[in-house]
Amino acid sequence: MVNEMDFKDKVVVVTGSGRGIGLRILERFYKLGAKVVVSDLDAAHVEEVASKMGDRAIGIAANVTIADDITALFKNVVEKFGRVDIVVNNAGITRDTLLIRMDEKDWDMVLDINLKGAFLVTKTAGKLMMKQRVGRIVNISSVVGLTGNAGQANYSASKAGLIGLTKSAAREFAPRGITVNAVAPGFIMTDMTDNLPDAAKETFRQKIMIDRFGEPDDIASAVLFFASDEASYVTGQVLAVDGGLTA
């Protein structure tokens, strides 16, 4: 089915796409003909990543927690490409520690980037998509948003909140032809998981039915499905892509 997907001339914005899962998602859309926007914190870096990808890619720096950045991001996208078809809320961070040791600033920072960031992007992109009467929004949540996780109270709360945002936005936007879905990754090999202690990695590994850690491509495949015509009757859903970790 994936081979039949065609994103020719679709305009795709992925937040936090300077590396990791976000970058892989954009590369996959690009291969299938989309016009893509690399967006992340560092301007020089996003421009470099976009220029390596090709002439249908542009880089626009934006911090998802700053409303003015998000307004400027989508203004820029519309000036350059005329519209926005697919938005992926992917920017995210962790600041892990046990709850009783967690600083207020680490709570606020994780909630700000992972949840408020997605709200600002969804609000701004949603307005444009409502006028177009078509659009796709895919949010990158996490399996810990479904199960919770010791040491990740802030992160789990942000990712559970993102599921609430997904389902509410799906209800508000469905009459205007916009779908909103979430992917909940399990353990995916990126910079985010790279520095976990080996013992923690092994504990996860033993719980994964499909005996390997996930790759950014595993998440990109689920995002492509939600963004494609194949998923035109699917909204408000959360798909765990975790090798069976939470099944």
In the region spanning residues 110 to 129, those forming contacts with ligand NAI, defined by CB under 6 A, are 113, 117
Q: Is 243 in the site for ligand NAI (CB under 6 A)?
A: no
The stretch near ligand NAI (CB under 6 A) out of 129-137, 172-180, 183-191, 229-237 is 183-191
Q: What is the spatial order of strands in the sheet that 238-241 belongs to?
A: 57-59, 35-39, 11-15, 86-89, 135-140, 178-185, 238-241
Report, in Å, the least distance between residue 83 CB and ligand NAI.
22
Among 90, 152, 156, 179, binds ligand NAI (CB under 6 A): 90
The structure tokens 């914190």 sit at 41
Residue 233 annotated as catalytic? no
Among 5, 11, 13, 22, binds ligand NAI (CB under 6 A): 22
Q: Is 91 in the site for ligand NAI (CB under 6 A)?
A: yes
Report, in Å, the least distance between residue 30 CB and ligand NAI.
17
What is the 3 state secondary structure string of 51-90? HHHCCCEEECCCCCCCHHHHHHHHHHHHHHHCCCCEEEEC
Q: Is 16 in the site for ligand NAI (CB under 6 A)?
A: yes
Residues 6+ positions from 220 with CB-CB distance below 8 Å? 21, 24, 25, 27, 28
Report how far apart the first and last C-alpha atoms of the chain are (Å, whole number).
24
CA distances from 240 to 18, 165, 178, 234, 245 (A): 23, 17, 21, 15, 9
Among 14, 50, 64, 157, binds ligand NAI (CB under 6 A): 64
What is the set of active-site residues? 155
Residues engaged in binding ligand NAI (CB under 6 A): 15-16, 18-22, 40-41, 63-65, 90-93, 113, 117, 140, 142, 185, 187-188, 190-193
